[in-house]
Amino acid sequence: MSDLYRNAMNARLAKLPATLPGDDGDEEEEETDGLGALPGQGLGPPAMFLNDAAHRPRLTPKTRTKKAPNPEYTPISAATYFEQALMVEVPERGLDFRVYYTPPKTADGAVMVCHHGAGYSGLSFACMAQEIVTMTKGECGVLSVDARRHGRTTAMESHDDSDLSEVSLVQDFAALVKTFFKDPATAPVLILVGHSMGGSVVVRACPLILESKFHVAGVAVLDIVEGSALDALPHMNSILNARPDGFDSPEEAIEWHLNTKAIRNPLSARVSVPNIIKPSDSTSPLVPAYVWRTPLRLTAPFWRSWFEGLSANFLICRTARLLVLAGTDRLDKELMIGQMQGKFQLIVIPSVGHLLHEDDPRGTAETLVEFWRRNERIKLPIKVKKVGEL
């Protein structure tokens, strides 16, 4: 049984009465006990099984204790990780996208175009992007995108950005690529990279980008498998119930992500977490000063659309395919058959969580760079197919 499904069952069991060592009997705190980290679902930072009452997530202002910001968790600017932070208007989608970009240094270079998971932002790829640029000596650049209702991307005047269906997100991504690079003839080679929900987006957007005559050297999906994701969906409300309503400071948000092991790399957390929260609009002392930027509970009608058909669409992409996982027991039947038939390359990164590109940015970067070089930079003999191609 996969880690994803096992942890989803933990969420289900958490609804039963339980008494844990050190528990003071508070009913609100008992609701969080037994909720495991949920890798592979892409629905925001997971809860963590913690018996230590001092580190349990606080669910309501009644149980939340305010504290001064810890300087150990001071946010870090993304300016040292990307060369540019841009706003790109895409009128056809009614959106003003925030993107983070480091262009390739060579005329024949490539760009990895990255789409984050639900609840995260383009800065989730910051540390990995820096590693990619460094190890390729600038031959490969990185473009990382904030999706609609995420990060700094905003709706243009008189436009509604509340539709987070798979169709809408795919159209957004494809339109942004076409707008940003403009002319396919002069555009760099593209490698599409998506984490969790973003993996489903890039897989489905790939045919649209190819139809526009862009050169897509490969599609890389990070830690998402259709079967495990769909198994976990019935338990998602329990998972979201375990998250704090908000935080008193960005430092507290960063600390929470690290304490719960939602992110295991302090450096990456200090760069990415501040972009997934925002100042609260409320002046009430009972409301946290910072709240989640993306209202994940309101996206529930779209959850199934994000993942249904992912495996089939991944296997028919007309380019090289790479699946990177944080565990070995998460392949569904369709992917297991596809792997045995050599339809894609599978890499497992050890000792990481669901946010594997944040937990181990260098290891993930090495995997992606090797994938790019193998499928684009090496001059292959005639009739020798690229990795992941039929």
The residue extents of the domains of the chain are 3-74+232-299, 83-230+301-377
- Please pick, among 2, 168, 196, 268, the residue that the annotation labels catalytic: 196
- Of 115, 150, 354, 357, the catalytic one is 354
196 annotated active-site: yes
Fold held by 83-230+301-377: Rossmann fold (3.40.50)
Q: Minimal CA–CA distance to 344: which of 367, 317, 365?
A: 317
In this predicted structure, what is the pLDDT of residue 186? Answer: 94
Report the candidate in 172, 137, 265, 271 with the shortest Cα–Cα distance to residue 162: 172
- Check residue 43 and report its DSSP letter: B
Choice among 172, 223, 332, 359 that is catalytic: 223
pLDDT value for 226:
93
Look-up of token digits 């999906």? 221
Examine the residue annotation and report whether 146 is marked as an active-site residue of this protein.
Answer: no
Beta strands in the chain (DSSP E): 84-90, 95-102, 110-115, 140-145, 154-155, 189-195, 216-222, 246-247, 277-279, 290-292, 320-325, 345-348
Q: Average pLDDT for consecutive 10-residue bins of the chain (390 residues)?
A: 44 40 37 33 43 41 69 95 98 98 94 97 98 97 98 95 96 98 95 97 98 97 93 88 92 97 97 97 89 93 95 96 85 91 94 96 98 73 47
